[in-house]
Structure 1
Amino acid sequence: MTQTASPLPKVRASELVGRGWLNTGGKEIALADLRGKIVVLDFWTFCCINCLHVLDELRELEEQHRDVLVIVGVHSPKFVHEADPVALAAAVDRYEVRHPVLDDPNLVTWSAYTARAWPTLVVIDPEGYVVAQMAGEGHAHNLEILVENLVAEHDAKGTLHRGDGPYVAPAPSSGTLRFPAKAIALPGGTFLVADAGHHSLAELAADGETLVRRIGSGERGLVDGRPDDARFSEPNGLCLVPDELRAEAGFDVLVADTVNHALRGVRLSDGHVTTVAGTGEQYMVGGTDNVVARPDEALGTDRSGVGYQGPPLEVRLSSPWDVVWSQERAAFVVAMAGNHTLWELDVAENSLRRLAGTMNEGLQDGPAEQAWFAQTSGLAVDAGGRIWLADSEVSALRYLDVPGGRAEVTEPVVGTAVGAGLFDFGLRDGAADQALLQHPLGVAVLPDGSIVVADTYNGAIRRYVAGADGAPGQVTTLARDLAEPSDVVVLPSAGGDGIELLVVESAAHRLTRLRLPKDVAGEILDAGAHRTQRPVTDVAPGPFRLDVVFTPAAGQKYDDRYGPSTRLQVSATPPELLVAGAGDDVPLTRDLVLNPEVAQGVLHVTAHAASCDADPAIEYPACHLNAQDWGVPIRVVEGGPAALTLPLHG
């Protein structure tokens, strides 16, 4: 099928307005100060894994073209915590952002550029005109071509100015730990910490402070070998290998090496590091090269890539965030934050496969292969074999029941204990079906079977106790005023007279001990509920046209080889907002009917478009599935626009 793309009208870029600037040495930046440079605005929020992927995608482009290109991060927060300027400064430091960042807590600049999704990129030419806007990740190649074309064009016109940009590097920080992510207790009484900011692992003495040794050189990279030579890139989850499996596996600890999109094995005796799974390249949803398949292998995939499985070192991963051992699965379960799924690694069979999740982002329970997650982040297994999950972007505590565990299931099934959805969060205790979290990253199981949650953006440790006979459970708060707690280790109590927790306080760069009484119940708090506040789009009631504009990357065309090249899914919250037009169909345009009796809601749009190299001389063309989700808040008013256009770029 053929689609036509409508180019963006040539318009002047809007001014950059916000609360202040980071990475500029304290100076304010006006758009006029950047005239003569190619400018890329990166609308991001630091909770968002897709935004973090874009930061990594931009690093090489930024270094190659630093004399002509200025990247400006426009931080437009989703969560309340992200609007805190101290938290934003820490995130800019944590993720090694090497360009100016505009703090846009009220989404003023976001609104001026009509951004509707995190992340969104806007390209401005040296004369101050917007030349491209693209949502989502995976645009590095297209951006490279666009920048090179703009350099050539404006060099010839004399409108390109070479030289240093406005970036000013912050003062370096020091300390034993730098933004630690996860920790585990080792058999000898020490602790192994994923020291993400130092791109290494730190073994600390029993006091949780004294450095015993470091595994990893501290340089960002993917290198195996001895502890002084090995390299990681923002490691997160850690898991001890069961004793009976260590000799066969050849390592003692499995590490989720997040930004390397890999799983690494560490031998504790000498600190030797090996790569266990992943190619070092990111799994892109719908990509045809996520697995390096051998001729004798049948991988059984569809265009979405959901069915991919194969030898662990031949499968691309996407930001693995945590890992845990499941006795019932006889495998390691991996929280794959980058594509909202759970995977399992079977070392004995040398296989890696998707266990749960469709790769759609959201909160949907049910059979594992149909469930939706949102940035799977922290894992723990209880005594009955239930796998507990901190599902961060839906601010939820979820679980996966598997055959052989306490729950009577014949196939893996996903449920939710606490959480309401992508845009609902807060700090509220009480009945679990009414309780709220804010972007939790860690989870652990207490001796009595209750669950503790590192409620990261609330700076709190929360506790969930299951209800009896199907009743909702209860949520309480055990501790507050912590600096972005990202993990919890439950320690053996001294003398059995209480509970001791070791909390990874990531933004405070330390491990903190919490001693709680044996019969701790926790406080019942209610600090309020929140919804993500984004600018509302006014629309007309009745007939309404939705148009997703897809522009294939340079040198590519629509890919119709295996069926329709596009797909559009539309729904609404509340469902009554849409009188007609909801559902799943091929064209990227949809005629909707909006209910005049529903004053406001959210229009949920998911678009896919497949493209391939256009040159017929290429025997094995590179193909991509471009995908983006939007949640567009709308208000139905008489006289509002009767159409909405969303950009989807290749």
Structure 2
Amino acid sequence: MTAEPTATESVRASYRVRASELVGRNWLNTGGQQITLDDLRGKIVVLDFWTFCCINCLHVLDELRPLEEKYRDLLVIVGVHSPKFEHEADPAALAAAVERYEIHHPVLDDPELETWQAYSARAWPTLVVVDPEGYIAAHLSGEGHANGLEVLVEELVAEHEDKGTLHRGDGPYVAPPAREGDLRFPGKVLALPNGNFLVGDSGHHRLVELANDLGTVVRSFGDGTKGFADGPAERARFNEPQGLAALPADVAARVGYDVVVADTVNHRLRGLSLDTGEVRTIAGNGVQRLLDADQARAAGDAANDAEAWVWDLGTEPLETSLSSPWDVLWSAKAGRLVIAMAGTHQIFSLDPLSGELAVFAGTGLEGLQDGVPGQAWFAQSSGLADDANGDIWVADSETSALRVLRLGGDGRVASVETAIGTGLFDFGFRDGPAAEARLQHPLGVTVLPDGSVAVADTYNGAVRRYDPATGTASTLARGLAEPSDVLLDASVEGPPVLLVVETNQHQLVRLPLPKEALTVDEGAAQSHRPKSPVAPGEHELVVRFSAPKGQKLDDRWGDPTQLKISSSPEELLLGGAGTSVGLRRTLTLNPDIDGGVLHITARAAACDGEPGGEIPDHAACHLYQQDWGIPVSIDADGETELTLDLRGLD
């Protein structure tokens, strides 16, 4: 979550190092050709290290599209897919993701992270720029570097045209054949009063009403072209719509629309009238929201006081930036819409009558932390459902977790709790007691008649069940192709069934609720990355940060930097865990533990202003944040220090 550099800032590295060869299992989008660096000589190359679960990586894909188009005859973007989750290493799943996200450049499948290691990548996303002679020109982490990259490209074009080393012409991209069918990578589903279903047909950038047979298209909303436009159904445009929520009839009558749509890549909420087909924008200005320093500070002030949590974003929702809203829910208890704001790792709320937009829970820091709403951390929350008590269940995808928002009598969040899940890099397929159960990147959730919760366990290809009464997890169905949503369907004769959006099969399917759930234990796992050997005992951690030109550290209220450090297992760290100011920390590593994962979150606040001078009144302030999960092994001959870049441009 980073702010963009200024338009005049170059991100060029001060060193000159030869780029490593691109090594992996296979190439996609090249027509079967295997690409080498020699094949790219004469082009400016941007290596985009990504993984398809990561919302920040998806943001970077969109940031790079204008550069890709503007410099298409001299710039080649190469996606290096370095998987975080086990499922992402499946070549079929990767091919589907490349198609789903309309990636129009070559992609290297790097399941063993060979190229990731060669370029010293440590976080998703990471960008590496290689000049036309094959030397590294920049190495950047996080999102928000589009302006700086454009400045660097212009520098490299001028330099290498003068040297005669820049070659214009077509790159190695070869478009795959187009997919046919009524649905393309559907996301979320909503039951309509007439017995039909409204589906977010994400890959076709539209909404589709399906008949109760799940196969007949009754009508569609949106012309099927990626973009943004309000208006009648045949002219409206969406960009990868996901979540859908129906408003109560009395509210719908007053606001003039029936359904709210999470228009994810447009960073907007849209309103749809089922009677007229008219689409309107109800929130979001189309500019991706970034967490700023004032918001983070407000969250910290409210961290220990639920009553202090009043993070009001105002009553001008059309002027407010949102970030990748993924799901929406009407909460009767809260009396407002609740929004899974995946891009900022928060839960928002919107009163459609007053226009009041607010942060419902979450500081915006990515991770798994419970507590009062101003203390909680989420990670790409992607699914919402409420139960009979009005509490809201959350599929928190990047922590492979099932969370719950406990609402008080006033309709506000009293506390955030975790039912299943342990952290950003822990996942698996395991049923049993909740403390031991594991999911893998769940995207959808619904509440069943007995009060248990069904979860679309997306990367496990399963529908799981959590029973709050017993605190146990079980499996209702498996063998599905990336189920992204699940709904209780009472429209059929007999007992209700599960309606599942099977995204990678481009269909909706009905599954009976089994009389007895399965118990599956395929183990727990952590994100598979090479382990760094580290010596036991004291270990120095330094996170480097340099504010962009025209900005200075915001030290008006003390040290504006912070580190949060923990480990899996907890016993790995004998000292140095916890949250405190500063970007240096001495860790003490346990000699009796073989290894584990160091979880590190660094952040720094900077504002517009010259170093050494005063920060002007009303200066824009920005929060720079990066999360790392670094696997380590304890080795007497290992390293005794670790240096990371929060924002290292030199």
TM over 0.5: yes
Matching of residue 314 in structure 1 with residue 319 in structure 2 = yes
Distance apart, 1:581 and its partner CA: 3.5
8 Å CA contact 2:369, 2:378 repeated in 1: yes
The aligned counterpart of 1:71 is: 77
Name the SS of the counterpart of 1:333 in structure 2: strand
Kept after mapping to 2: 8 A contact 1:142/1:554:
no
Does 2:532 match 1:537? yes
Q: What is the CA distance between 1:411 and its match in structure 2?
A: 5.2
CA contact (8 A) 2:425 2:629 kept: no
Separation (CA, whole Å) in 2 of partners of 1:647 and 1:186: 49
Match of 1:480 among 466, 478, 481: 478
- Equivalent residue, structure 2, for 1:235: 241
Query: 1: distance between equivalents of 2:148 and 2:103?
Result: 21
Q: 1:495 to 1:172 in 2, by over 3 A?
A: closer
For the residue of structure 1 that corresponds to 2:92, the secondary structure is helix
1:87, distance to aligned residue in structure 2 (A): 0.5
Matches within 5 A, 1:199-238: 199-238=205-244
Task: Give percent identity, aligned residues only.
Answer: 59
Deviation of the 1:258 alpha carbon: 0.7
**Structure 1 unaligned residues grouped into runs of 5+:** 291-298
Structure 1's 170 and 607: CA in aligned 2 closer, same or farther, altered over 3 A? same
Q: Helix, strand or coil: the match of 2:374?
A: helix
Name the counterpart of 1:402.
407
Kept in 2, the 8 Å contact 1:310–1:351? The answer is yes
Bigger mean CA deviation after superposition, 122-131 or 616-625: 616-625
**Contact in 2 for aligned 1:476/1:521 (Cα 8 Å):** no
CA separation in 2, counterparts of 1:586 and 1:527?
Answer: 40
Asked if 1:499 corresponds to 2:496, the answer is yes
Question: Where does residue 457 of structure 2 map in the other structure?
Answer: 455
Secondary structure, in 3 states, of the residue corresponding to 1:399? strand
- Aligned runs of 1:201-600 on 2, under 5 Å? 201-286=207-292, 307=311, 309-311=313-315, 312-404=317-409, 412-467=414-469, 472-492=470-490, 494-496=492-494, 498-516=495-513, 520-553=515-548, 556-560=551-555, 563-600=558-595
For residues 205 and 124 of structure 2, the distance between their equivalents in structure 1, rounded to whole angstroms, comes to 26
* Mapped contact 1:134–1:648 kept (Cα < 8 A): no
CA change 1:301–1:450 in 2 (3 A) is closer
Partner deviation per Cα, 1:603-643 (whole Å, 9 max, x = no partner): 22222233445679999765432211111112222222222
Aligned counterparts of 2:335 and 2:477: Cα–Cα separation in 1: 35
CA distances 1:591-610 after superposition (whole Å, capped 9, x unpaired): 43433333322222222233
| Aligned mates of 2:73, 2:555 — CA distance in 1 | 40
In structure 2, C-alpha distance between the alignment counterparts of 1:410 and 1:251, rounded to whole Å: 25
- Distance, in Å, in 1 between the alignment partners of 2:576 and 2:423 is 23
Q: Is the 8 A contact 1:571 1:582 kept in 2?
A: yes
- 1:90 aligns to 2:96 (yes or no): yes
1-structure distance, mates of 2:522, 2:208: 36
Which amino acid counterpart does residue 426 of structure 1 have in structure 2?
Answer: G
Report the CA distance between 1:307 and its aligned residue: 4.0
Equivalent AA in structure 2 for residue 446 of structure 1:
L
Post-superposition shift, 1:553? 3.6
Q: Secondary structure of 1:370's match?
A: coil
Partner in structure 2 of residue 293 of structure 1 = none
- Partner of residue 141 from structure 2, selected from 107, 130, 135: 135
Distance (Å, rounded) in 2 between the aligned partners of 1:416 and 1:301:
20
Question: Is the 8 Å Cα contact of residues 44 and 153 (structure 2) preserved in structure 1?
Answer: yes
1:381-420 per-residue CA deviation (whole Å, 9 max, x = no partner) reads 1111111111111111111110139xxx985211122222
| Cα distance, 1:7 vs structure 2 | 5.9
Rounded to whole Å, the distance in 1 between the matches of 2:177 and 2:551 is 43
Structure 1, residues 8-63: CA drift from partner, whole Å, max 9, x if none? 64211111100000000100001111111111111111011111111111111111
Instruction: Indicate conservation of the 8 Å contact 1:15/1:31, yes or no.
Output: yes
Computed over aligned residues only, the root mean square deviation of the Cα atoms, in angstroms, reads 2.7
Partner residue of 2:306?
none
| Alpha-carbon distance in structure 2 between the residues aligned to 1:105 and 1:587 | 35
Match of 2:187 in 1: 181
2:533, 2:401 → 1: CA distance?
30
| Residues 6, 549 of structure 1: 8 Å contact kept | no
For residues 387 and 364 of structure 1, what CA distance do their matches in structure 2 show? 17
Q: Secondary structure, in 3 states, of the residue corresponding to 1:368?
A: coil
CA 1:317–1:66: 2 relative to 1, 3 Å? same
**Deviation of the 1:493 alpha carbon:** 5.7
Tell me which amino acid in the other structure corresponds to 2:201: D
Query: Aligned equivalents of 1:13 and 1:356: distance in 2?
Result: 43
Indicate the SS of the match to 1:310. Answer: coil
Unaligned runs of 5+ in 2: 1-10, 303-308
Aligned-pair CA distance for 1:347: 1.6
Q: Distance in 1 between matches of 2:426 and 2:300?
A: 33
One-letter amino acid of the counterpart of residue 196, structure 1: S
Task: Specify the code of the residue in structure 2 equivalent to 1:640.
Answer: G
Give 3-state SS (helix, strand or coil) of 1:325's partner. Answer: strand
Q: CA deviation at 1:516?
A: 3.3
* Secondary structure in 2 matching 1:607: strand
Shift in alpha-carbon separation, 1:582–1:528, aligned structure 2, 3 A: closer
Kept in 1: contact 2:431–2:438 (CA 8 A): yes
CA contact under 8 A between 1:300 and 1:308: conserved in structure 2?
no
Cα–Cα, structure 1 residues 303 and 548, in superposed 2: closer, same or farther, change >3 Å?
farther
Q: 1:27 to 1:411 in 2, by over 3 A?
A: closer
Letter in 1 for 2:518: E
Cα distance in 2 between the residues matched to 1:556 and 1:69? 30
Aligned residues: 628
